[in-house]
Amino acid sequence: MPLRSTGCLKCRQRKIRCDEERPGCKRCRIHGVVCPGFKTARKGDIEFEDQTDQTVQRLQIDAHAALKGRRKPVRWTSSEASTPEEKLTTTFTWAGFDLGAQQPLHRTGTPPVAPVNVAPTTPIWSIHSPAAMRAQLHGMFLQLYVPQDIPTHGPGLWSSNKRFLHSLMELPSSGRASLSHALDALTLVQIGSTYRNPQLLNTAVEAYGKSLRGLRIALSKPEKLKDDAVLATTCVLSSCEFYTHFRVHGHSWVSHQHGTQRLLEQRGPESILSSPLAVHLFYQLTTGSLFMSLLTRRRDPYSAAKWSAVETKATDIHDDLSESNRLGLRLPALLERHDRLDWNHPGCLASLDHLLFDCEQMEMEMKSNLATVHARDAMEEKSWIALVDIEYFHPFADLIENHTMTRAFRFPSFQTGYIHSSHWFRMFMLRQTIRSLFDMRQRLVPDWLPPPKRVVHEKELLFYVLSLCRLNNTFAPTDTGDGYPGSSTFPHESS
């Protein structure tokens, strides 16, 4: 072993390479001995380890001091340990990241804190448990990442997405190291971007790498392929790819999507239906798959009949968005049929007419679905979308000096904007395809003209483009990480 080995004491004594897994290495477990731990934490690491005994002892001391009136609030870092032994056991370090000293870039206030069964006189900053610190990080992450207006639109995508993230964070970490690392990466990169803390960003990249390595090991074991934690890891890692920090160091979002498709195909619909968590994961992953299929203009793999039962079960979770996405799953196949039309084939005209009928049928269904949403919101007397001055969207307007568009859409809720953005994007692709089919038919039948009411005008296509441009302020807030389907094509830092 090298003289500067950072492995555990037992591996160094046995002169074997230590994998340095925390809190105890696998080498010791394989040889049936208890890992004695590590002499020092690696410089700059943020570690999450079980220190329940130390936590209980410190809380008892704090409570005892509070009863005697000698209690003083403290903020804990590894440098505050009173003895060398305490410094060695304190492996969770903020490395100078002090929430009390650093203000977030665009949001103020203290982070949400998970309930802790301690006396009210014990401030949260005196709790030294890594589990409590992790709960604080997760709470702060959800506050920054999930849109804050989710209570206004019921059990839709974003409220269920928040419950979904909560359920992943509450899963036991034992045997799910890759998922824990993926959640750490997503949590730390969001907080690090908001607070502009390079220490957290670097640690997020390291956690991302650990998650990828753990996922690679899990996928090599056949019994792990049907584990929901493995599927959840791929979902979280796909979200990580929206950040520039992982775009440089990690795999691409498209690579994750292809890997997820292979994983879902191996599991099959029956395996997905057997788990409520897997059904929600399926919906999350197929939403990204749909957008990728639209970009590549290839049939979506989940539009097949065998997945229809899973889509139906997901309807109860995602209400309006389920019907919108079910229609959207059919659109990539229409685009692919258009691209594969062969002018020289004898049956080209018949194929074109059949495709044109399917496209116009889908157009009517998409318009009907949006009208249903409008009618429901009108009955509930909700305020509707409006074009307002761009200065209304603070701090978005402050970041953009050149206001090419002076007005933008304001939606009554995040989900309403999500539904409209999806509708406009798909309508642009669909109507553009219909116009192309009209042009192709006129070339095949020179005397034919499309009915005036069915002609696709340039003004209509421009409306969809401008509407999507006026959505950026809604889906690129500087303090929210969750985005809409269009944002998934562009890696970002905090939006």
User: 470, 421 in Cβ contact below 8 A?
Assistant: no
Write out the two tokens for 416.
């309403």
pLDDT tens track of the chain, all 495 residues? Answer: 445 677 888 888 888 888 888 778 888 888 878 887 776 555 555 444 555 566 556 656 665 665 555 444 433 333 333 333 333 222 222 233 233 333 344 433 444 444 444 334 444 444 456 677 777 787 788 777 765 544 433 343 444 455 677 778 777 766 688 888 999 998 898 888 888 888 988 999 899 989 989 888 888 888 888 888 888 888 888 888 878 777 655 557 788 788 888 888 888 888 888 888 888 888 778 888 888 899 899 999 888 888 887 877 766 555 556 677 788 889 999 999 999 998 888 889 999 999 999 999 999 999 998 888 888 777 766 667 788 887 777 656 666 667 777 888 887 777 778 888 889 999 999 999 999 999 999 999 999 999 999 999 999 999 999 998 888 766 655 444 444 444 433 333 333
Model pTM score: 0.65
CA distance 139 to 108: 15
Write out the two tokens for 82.
């009173």
CA distance 413 to 394: 16
User: 373, 419 in Cβ contact below 8 A?
Assistant: yes
In the three-class reduction of DSSP (H, G, I as helix; E, B as strand; rest coil), residue 405 is classed as coil
User: 208, 181 in Cβ contact below 8 A?
Assistant: yes
CA distance 345 to 57: 81
In the three-class reduction of DSSP (H, G, I as helix; E, B as strand; rest coil), residue 407 is classed as strand
DSSP codes joined into one string, 234-278: HHHHHHHTTBHHHHHHS--HHHHHHHHHHHHHHHHHHHHHT-HHH
User: 15, 35 in Cβ contact below 8 A?
Assistant: no
CA distance 237 to 250: 10
Strand ranges for 107-217 from DSSP E: none
Region class of 44: left (phi > 0), else alpha (psi between -120 and 50), else beta: left
CA distance 389 to 44: 45
Q: Which residue, 432, 433, 430, 450, is CA-closest to 441? A: 450
